[in-house]
Chain A
Amino acid sequence: NGDASPPVSMAELDHLVQIISKSHLETCQYLREELQQMSWQSFLQDEVESYQNKPREAMWQLCAVKITEAIQYVVEFAKRIDGFMDLCQNDQIVLLKAGSLEVVFVRMCRVFDSQNNAVYFDGKFAGPDVFRALGCDDLITSVFDFAKSLCSLHLTEDELALFSAFVLLSADRSWLQEKLQVEKLQQKTQLALQHVLQKNHREDGVLNKLRCKVAVLRSLCSRHTEKLSAFRAVYPDIVRTHFPPLYKELFG
């Protein structure tokens, strides 16, 4: 691509794949073995109804807590990505503020049951109806659709790891101070992702499908921000006093 920097060697790509995959597995919140043991148990009807009967603000707070838990694992993932901690602190913050929730949505496909259209949440597998009390059915449907479509690609753990790093290291985020540094890191990550896909004999279209997912992720995250501001307009005190501080810092 006419890039002046020296080409990345195969060995360097293998090394990058190894580091990012290891970082992913060390910080993935739910190991595959744990997921298998859970035997995909879903909520019983009365449990579903108890979520549906929760006051809107209580369900919002519960979801904010769960999102924040997942985001903390993503922060740990970022810290272990080769080169991320070499970026200036401003850019580390910019990338995580913009990309942590996107990586949470990517990781969601690891805990998603496509047959039953259900995601692991609060101890069991929950369908979209569990989230009715939030008052965001359109966004919830889109999030479930995204998880289902990402699941259909059947990405391996190292492919997921590389795609997560690729999403996080987006050089087009606003407020970046050292854009070129991030661009170099993202290009290397993309080469590593291509390398893994080739090594795993994936058909050609997968990389393009993954690129299209990036735009969907952006839309999901901006819709989340819109829903939050609409919610906060009605319940400002709840957000201020009951929402996790990190969540307010990132999305407030």
Chain B
Amino acid sequence: LKEKHKILHQLLQNSTS
């Protein structure tokens, strides 16, 4: 699932601004 949702995965990784 992570493969198919790279953008969402990246947003989740970003520190909570």
Q: List residues of A whose CB falls within 8 A of some B CB.
A: 72, 75-76, 79-80, 85, 89-90, 92-94, 96-97, 175, 245-246, 249-250
Contacts and interface: CB of A to CB of B under 8 A. Distances in A.
Nearest to B14: A79
A85 B7 CA distance: 17
Contacts of A90: 1-2
A250 B11 CA distance: 13
Interface in B1-17: 1-2, 4-9, 11-12, 16-17
Prevailing SS type, chain B contact patch: helix
B16 A93 contact: no
Contacts of A79: 12, 16
Contacts of A72: 11
B7 A249 contact: yes
Contacts of A89: 2, 9, 12
Contacts of A85: 12
B1 to A, nearest CB: 5
A93 B6 contact: no
Given A76-B16, A96-B8, 15 more contacts: A72-B11, A80-B16, A89-B9, A89-B12, A90-B2, A93-B2, A93-B8, A93-B9, A97-B5, A246-B8, A246-B11, A249-B5, A249-B7, A250-B5, A250-B8
Prevailing SS type, chain A contact patch: helix
30 contacts: A72-B11, A75-B11, A75-B12, A76-B16, A76-B17, A79-B12, A80-B16, A85-B12, A89-B9, A90-B2, A92-B12, A93-B1, A93-B2, A93-B5, A93-B8, A93-B9, A94-B1, A96-B8, A97-B5, A97-B8, A245-B7, A246-B7, A246-B8, A246-B11, A249-B4, A249-B6, A249-B7, A249-B8, A250-B5, A250-B8
A81 B4 CA distance: 24
Contacts of B9: 89, 93
B7 to A, nearest CB: 5
B15 to A, nearest CB: 9
A249 to B, nearest CB: 5
A72 B7 CA distance: 11
A85 B13 CA distance: 10
Contacts of A96: 8, 12
